[in-house]
Protein backbone atom coordinates (compact mmCIF):
# COMPACT_ATOMS: atom_id res chain seq x y z
CA UNK A 1 0.00 0.00 0.00
CA UNK A 2 1.16 3.55 -0.80
CA UNK A 3 3.00 4.72 2.36
CA UNK A 4 1.47 8.16 1.90
CA UNK A 5 -1.98 6.62 2.37
CA UNK A 6 -0.78 4.76 5.45
CA UNK A 7 0.42 8.09 6.86
CA UNK A 8 -2.89 9.70 5.90
CA UNK A 9 -4.91 7.00 7.71
CA UNK A 10 -2.79 7.33 10.82
CA UNK A 11 -3.29 11.09 10.85
CA UNK A 12 -7.04 10.52 10.43
CA UNK A 13 -6.95 8.39 13.58
CA UNK A 14 -4.75 10.66 15.70
CA UNK A 15 -5.54 14.12 14.28
CA UNK A 16 -2.10 15.11 15.54
CA UNK A 17 1.03 15.30 13.38
CA UNK A 18 3.53 14.49 16.13
CA UNK A 19 1.52 11.53 17.45
CA UNK A 20 1.11 10.15 13.93
CA UNK A 21 4.84 10.44 13.33
CA UNK A 22 5.63 8.63 16.60
CA UNK A 23 3.29 5.75 15.83
CA UNK A 24 4.66 5.40 12.29
CA UNK A 25 8.27 5.74 13.48
CA UNK A 26 8.96 8.53 11.02
CA UNK A 27 9.67 12.23 11.45
CA UNK A 28 6.98 14.86 11.76
CA UNK A 29 8.21 16.65 8.60
CA UNK A 30 7.82 13.33 6.74
CA UNK A 31 4.17 13.17 7.83
CA UNK A 32 3.64 16.73 6.61
CA UNK A 33 5.37 15.93 3.32
CA UNK A 34 3.15 12.88 2.72
CA UNK A 35 -0.04 14.85 3.36
CA UNK A 36 1.05 17.75 1.15
CA UNK A 37 1.93 15.30 -1.63
CA UNK A 38 -1.55 13.76 -1.47
CA UNK A 39 -3.20 17.19 -1.43
CA UNK A 40 -1.15 18.19 -4.47
CA UNK A 41 -2.00 14.96 -6.30
CA UNK A 42 -5.75 15.18 -5.63
CA UNK A 43 -6.01 18.99 -5.81
CA UNK A 44 -7.87 19.39 -2.53
CA UNK A 45 -7.32 20.10 1.15
CA UNK A 46 -7.51 16.97 3.31
CA UNK A 47 -7.20 18.56 6.77
CA UNK A 48 -7.79 21.97 8.24
CA UNK A 49 -7.40 23.53 11.65
CA UNK A 50 -10.41 24.81 13.55
CA UNK A 51 -8.71 26.86 16.20
CA UNK A 52 -5.98 24.52 17.39
CA UNK A 53 -7.88 21.35 16.54
CA UNK A 54 -6.99 19.45 13.37
CA UNK A 55 -10.10 18.23 11.53
CA UNK A 56 -10.75 16.14 8.43
CA UNK A 57 -12.33 17.91 5.47
CA UNK A 58 -15.16 16.46 3.38
CA UNK A 59 -12.63 15.53 0.70
CA UNK A 60 -10.43 13.98 3.36
CA UNK A 61 -13.35 11.83 4.49
CA UNK A 62 -13.82 10.54 0.94
CA UNK A 63 -10.14 9.68 0.64
CA UNK A 64 -10.23 7.97 4.04
CA UNK A 65 -13.00 5.62 2.88
CA UNK A 66 -11.09 4.87 -0.34
CA UNK A 67 -7.84 4.24 1.54
CA UNK A 68 -9.55 1.90 4.01
CA UNK A 69 -11.01 -0.11 1.13
CA UNK A 70 -7.64 -0.18 -0.65
CA UNK A 71 -5.97 -1.46 2.51
CA UNK A 72 -8.66 -4.11 2.88
CA UNK A 73 -8.25 -5.26 -0.74
CA UNK A 74 -4.51 -5.65 -0.27
CA UNK A 75 -5.16 -7.71 2.88
CA UNK A 76 -7.62 -9.89 0.92
CA UNK A 77 -4.99 -10.42 -1.76
CA UNK A 78 -2.36 -11.48 0.77
CA UNK A 79 -4.81 -13.94 2.31
CA UNK A 80 -5.76 -15.27 -1.12
CA UNK A 81 -2.09 -16.03 -1.77
CA UNK A 82 -1.90 -18.24 1.33
CA UNK A 83 -1.94 -22.00 0.77
CA UNK A 84 -5.48 -22.83 -0.39
CA UNK A 85 -5.99 -25.50 2.24
CA UNK A 86 -5.98 -22.95 5.10
CA UNK A 87 -8.91 -20.65 5.86
CA UNK A 88 -8.36 -17.97 8.50
CA UNK A 89 -11.26 -15.72 9.52
CA UNK A 90 -11.18 -12.69 11.79
CA UNK A 91 -14.67 -12.51 13.27
CA UNK A 92 -16.29 -9.99 15.57
CA UNK A 93 -19.47 -10.40 17.58
CA UNK A 94 -21.43 -8.20 19.91
CA UNK A 95 -21.67 -9.53 23.43
CA UNK A 96 -25.07 -11.21 23.14
CA UNK A 97 -24.14 -13.02 19.95
CA UNK A 98 -20.61 -13.82 21.08
CA UNK A 99 -21.68 -15.34 24.38
CA UNK A 100 -24.96 -17.01 23.45
CA UNK A 101 -25.17 -17.63 19.69
CA UNK A 102 -21.75 -17.79 18.03
CA UNK A 103 -20.69 -21.11 19.56
CA UNK A 104 -23.32 -22.93 17.50
CA UNK A 105 -21.64 -21.56 14.35
CA UNK A 106 -18.01 -21.88 15.41
CA UNK A 107 -18.21 -25.55 16.40
CA UNK A 108 -19.11 -26.85 12.90
CA UNK A 109 -16.77 -24.36 11.20
CA UNK A 110 -13.80 -25.41 13.33
CA UNK A 111 -14.60 -29.10 12.87
CA UNK A 112 -12.67 -28.74 9.60
CA UNK A 113 -8.98 -28.92 10.62
CA UNK A 114 -8.02 -26.50 7.83
CA UNK A 115 -10.16 -23.75 9.37
CA UNK A 116 -8.88 -21.23 11.90
CA UNK A 117 -10.57 -18.25 13.48
CA UNK A 118 -9.74 -15.25 15.62
CA UNK A 119 -12.85 -14.06 17.44
CA UNK A 120 -13.31 -10.69 19.15
CA UNK A 121 -16.34 -10.05 21.36
CA UNK A 122 -17.12 -6.42 22.19
CA UNK A 123 -19.87 -3.85 21.90
CA UNK A 124 -21.24 -2.50 18.64
CA UNK A 125 -19.23 0.72 18.60
CA UNK A 126 -15.90 -1.05 19.13
CA UNK A 127 -16.59 -3.69 16.47
CA UNK A 128 -17.59 -1.15 13.84
CA UNK A 129 -14.36 0.72 14.54
CA UNK A 130 -12.42 -2.54 14.12
CA UNK A 131 -14.17 -3.13 10.79
CA UNK A 132 -13.34 0.40 9.63
CA UNK A 133 -9.69 -0.22 10.49
CA UNK A 134 -9.57 -3.58 8.68
CA UNK A 135 -9.02 -5.63 11.82
CA UNK A 136 -12.03 -7.88 11.13
CA UNK A 137 -13.30 -9.76 8.09
CA UNK A 138 -16.87 -9.40 9.33
CA UNK A 139 -18.86 -8.97 12.51
CA UNK A 140 -22.17 -10.18 13.87
CA UNK A 141 -23.89 -7.01 15.04
CA UNK A 142 -27.04 -6.61 17.12
CA UNK A 143 -28.92 -3.38 17.38
CA UNK A 144 -28.46 -0.15 15.45
CA UNK A 145 -25.73 1.04 13.10
CA UNK A 146 -25.46 2.97 9.84
CA UNK A 147 -26.35 0.22 7.37
CA UNK A 148 -25.64 2.30 4.28
CA UNK A 149 -21.96 2.47 5.27
CA UNK A 150 -21.51 -1.33 5.20
CA UNK A 151 -22.44 -4.52 3.40
CA UNK A 152 -25.08 -6.25 5.55
CA UNK A 153 -26.62 -9.73 5.53
CA UNK A 154 -29.51 -10.61 7.81
CA UNK A 155 -28.51 -13.51 10.08
CA UNK A 156 -31.73 -13.87 12.08
CA UNK A 157 -34.42 -11.95 13.95
CA UNK A 158 -34.47 -12.23 17.72
CA UNK A 159 -37.14 -11.28 20.32
CA UNK A 160 -36.12 -8.74 22.98
CA UNK A 161 -37.60 -9.46 26.42
CA UNK A 162 -37.46 -8.40 30.05
CA UNK A 163 -35.81 -10.66 32.64
CA UNK A 164 -36.40 -10.92 36.37
CA UNK A 165 -36.21 -13.35 39.27
CA UNK A 166 -38.67 -16.26 39.35
CA UNK A 167 -40.26 -14.76 42.47
CA UNK A 168 -40.60 -11.28 40.97
CA UNK A 169 -44.16 -9.97 40.40
CA UNK A 170 -43.32 -9.42 36.70
CA UNK A 171 -42.42 -13.09 36.07
CA UNK A 172 -44.28 -14.48 33.05
CA UNK A 173 -46.50 -11.43 32.72
CA UNK A 174 -47.24 -8.58 30.36
CA UNK A 175 -46.24 -5.49 32.30
CA UNK A 176 -47.45 -1.89 31.81
CA UNK A 177 -44.61 0.50 31.02
CA UNK A 178 -45.31 2.69 34.03
CA UNK A 179 -44.84 -0.28 36.37
CA UNK A 180 -41.17 -0.52 35.36
CA UNK A 181 -40.07 2.74 36.86
CA UNK A 182 -40.25 1.65 40.51
CA UNK A 183 -37.58 -0.97 39.72
CA UNK A 184 -33.78 -1.09 39.69
CA UNK A 185 -32.63 -1.34 36.06
CA UNK A 186 -29.57 -3.47 35.28
CA UNK A 187 -28.26 -1.70 32.19
CA UNK A 188 -25.49 -2.45 29.72
CA UNK A 189 -22.68 0.05 29.10
CA UNK A 190 -22.84 2.95 26.57
CA UNK A 191 -22.10 1.69 23.05
CA UNK A 192 -23.94 -1.59 23.66
CA UNK A 193 -26.51 -2.60 21.05
CA UNK A 194 -28.74 -3.99 23.82
CA UNK A 195 -28.72 -0.67 25.63
CA UNK A 196 -29.45 1.26 22.42
CA UNK A 197 -32.52 -0.88 21.73
CA UNK A 198 -33.94 -0.35 25.22
CA UNK A 199 -33.32 3.37 24.98
CA UNK A 200 -35.11 3.53 21.64
CA UNK A 201 -38.11 1.52 22.91
CA UNK A 202 -38.43 3.83 25.89
CA UNK A 203 -38.01 6.94 23.75
CA UNK A 204 -40.87 5.76 21.50
CA UNK A 205 -43.01 5.78 24.65
CA UNK A 206 -41.77 9.25 25.69
CA UNK A 207 -39.77 7.66 28.51
CA UNK A 208 -36.09 7.11 29.38
CA UNK A 209 -33.80 5.03 31.57
CA UNK A 210 -33.51 8.01 33.92
CA UNK A 211 -37.07 7.35 35.13
CA UNK A 212 -36.13 4.07 36.84
CA UNK A 213 -35.75 4.18 40.61
CA UNK A 214 -32.09 3.19 40.24
CA UNK A 215 -29.79 2.25 37.38
CA UNK A 216 -26.79 -0.10 37.67
CA UNK A 217 -24.44 -0.25 34.65
CA UNK A 218 -22.87 -3.66 33.99
CA UNK A 219 -20.90 -4.77 30.94
CA UNK A 220 -21.21 -8.52 31.55
CA UNK A 221 -24.37 -10.52 30.87
CA UNK A 222 -23.57 -13.25 33.37
CA UNK A 223 -23.37 -10.63 36.13
CA UNK A 224 -26.64 -9.05 34.98
CA UNK A 225 -28.28 -12.49 35.04
CA UNK A 226 -26.92 -13.26 38.51
CA UNK A 227 -28.23 -9.99 39.95
CA UNK A 228 -31.60 -10.38 38.25
CA UNK A 229 -31.92 -13.95 39.55
CA UNK A 230 -31.15 -12.65 43.05
CA UNK A 231 -34.01 -10.13 42.69
CA UNK A 232 -31.55 -7.21 42.71
CA UNK A 233 -33.09 -5.66 39.60
CA UNK A 234 -34.62 -6.25 36.19
CA UNK A 235 -33.07 -6.02 32.76
CA UNK A 236 -33.85 -6.41 29.06
CA UNK A 237 -32.01 -8.90 26.86
CA UNK A 238 -32.42 -10.96 23.73
CA UNK A 239 -34.32 -14.22 24.07
CA UNK A 240 -31.10 -16.13 23.31
CA UNK A 241 -29.61 -14.76 26.54
CA UNK A 242 -32.68 -15.48 28.65
CA UNK A 243 -32.80 -19.08 27.37
CA UNK A 244 -29.35 -19.80 28.88
CA UNK A 245 -30.43 -18.94 32.44
CA UNK A 246 -33.18 -21.26 33.73
CA UNK A 247 -33.12 -19.44 37.09
CA UNK A 248 -34.64 -16.38 35.36
CA UNK A 249 -38.16 -15.61 34.17
CA UNK A 250 -39.09 -13.35 31.29
CA UNK A 251 -41.73 -10.68 30.92
CA UNK A 252 -42.94 -8.44 28.10
CA UNK A 253 -44.29 -4.92 27.86
CA UNK A 254 -48.02 -4.58 27.35
CA UNK A 255 -48.93 -4.06 23.71
CA UNK A 256 -45.32 -4.21 22.55
CA UNK A 257 -43.58 -7.05 20.71
CA UNK A 258 -39.91 -6.15 20.34
CA UNK A 259 -37.95 -8.05 17.68
CA UNK A 260 -34.58 -6.94 16.34
CA UNK A 261 -32.14 -8.09 13.67
CA UNK A 262 -28.83 -9.87 14.08
CA UNK A 263 -26.79 -8.88 11.00
CA UNK A 264 -23.50 -10.02 9.47
CA UNK A 265 -21.64 -6.81 8.64
CA UNK A 266 -18.49 -6.13 6.61
CA UNK A 267 -16.90 -3.42 4.52
CA UNK A 268 -18.23 -2.83 1.03
CA UNK A 269 -16.27 -3.81 -2.08
CA UNK A 270 -14.25 -6.55 -0.39
CA UNK A 271 -14.09 -10.33 -0.42
CA UNK A 272 -15.73 -10.49 3.00
CA UNK A 273 -19.29 -11.38 1.82
CA UNK A 274 -17.87 -14.61 0.39
CA UNK A 275 -16.17 -15.26 3.73
CA UNK A 276 -19.47 -14.76 5.55
CA UNK A 277 -21.17 -17.25 3.27
CA UNK A 278 -18.33 -19.74 3.72
CA UNK A 279 -18.58 -19.44 7.50
CA UNK A 280 -22.37 -19.80 7.58
CA UNK A 281 -22.29 -22.72 5.13
CA UNK A 282 -20.39 -25.02 7.52
CA UNK A 283 -22.52 -28.15 8.11
CA UNK A 284 -24.55 -27.74 11.32
On the question of pLDDT at 84 being above 80, the answer is no
Cα separation, 284 vs 269, in Å, equals 29
Residue 72 φ/ψ, nearest 5 degrees? -65, -40
CATH annotation of 3-65: 1.10.10.10
Say yes or no: do domains 3-65 and 157-259 share a fold. no
If pLDDT is split at 50, 70 and 90, which confidence band does 29 have? very high
The CATH number fitting domain 79-156+262-280, selected from 3.20.20.70, 3.40.190.10, 3.40.640.10, 2.10.109.10: 3.40.190.10
Distances (CA, A) of 18 to 5, 23, 35, 203: 17, 9, 13, 43
Domain positions in the chain are 3-65, 79-156+262-280, 157-259
> Are residues 36 and 4 in contact, defined by beta-carbon separation less than 8 angstroms?
no
**What's the average model confidence in pLDDT over 44-69?**
94
Distances (CA, A) of 135 to 57, 76, 138, 153, 214: 25, 12, 9, 19, 38
On the question of pLDDT at 85 being above 80, the answer is no
The CATH number fitting domain 157-259, selected from 3.90.730.10, 2.60.40.10, 3.40.190.290, 3.20.20.70: 3.40.190.290
Kindly report the number of other CB atoms within 10 A of residue 223's CB atom.
12
pLDDT at 80: 76
3-class secondary-structure state, position 264: strand
pLDDT at 87: 84
If pLDDT is split at 50, 70 and 90, which confidence band does 96 have? confident
Helices 103-110 and 272-280 meet at what angle, rounded to 10?
A: 90
pLDDT at 60: 95
> Are residues 232 and 212 in contact, defined by beta-carbon separation less than 8 angstroms?
no
Q: What is the maximal distance between C-alpha atoms in the chain?
A: 69
What is the per-residue pLDDT across 217-241, written as a single tens digit (0 to 9) for each?
998 889 999 999 999 999 999 999 9
On the question of pLDDT at 74 being above 90, the answer is no
On the question of pLDDT at 88 being above 70, the answer is yes
If pLDDT is split at 50, 70 and 90, which confidence band does 154 have? very high
Q: Which of 58-67, 71-80, 180-189, 190-199 has the lowest mean pLDDT?
A: 71-80
Question: Which ranges of 90-220 would DSSP assign to H, the alpha helix?
Answer: 95-100, 103-110, 124-132, 193-204
Cα separation, 211 vs 79, in Å, equals 51
What is the per-residue pLDDT across 122-132, written as a single tens digit (0 to 9) for each?
988 899 999 99
3-class secondary-structure state, position 148: helix
pLDDT at 257: 86
Amino acid sequence: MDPRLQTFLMLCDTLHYRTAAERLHITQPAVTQHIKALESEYHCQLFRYQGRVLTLTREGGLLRRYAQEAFRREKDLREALLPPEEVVLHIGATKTIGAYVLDSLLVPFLADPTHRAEVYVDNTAVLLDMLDHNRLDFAFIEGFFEKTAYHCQLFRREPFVGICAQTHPFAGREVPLESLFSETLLLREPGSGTRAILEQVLQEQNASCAQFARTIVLSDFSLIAALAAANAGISFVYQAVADRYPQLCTFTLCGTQIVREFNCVCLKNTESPAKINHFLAAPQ
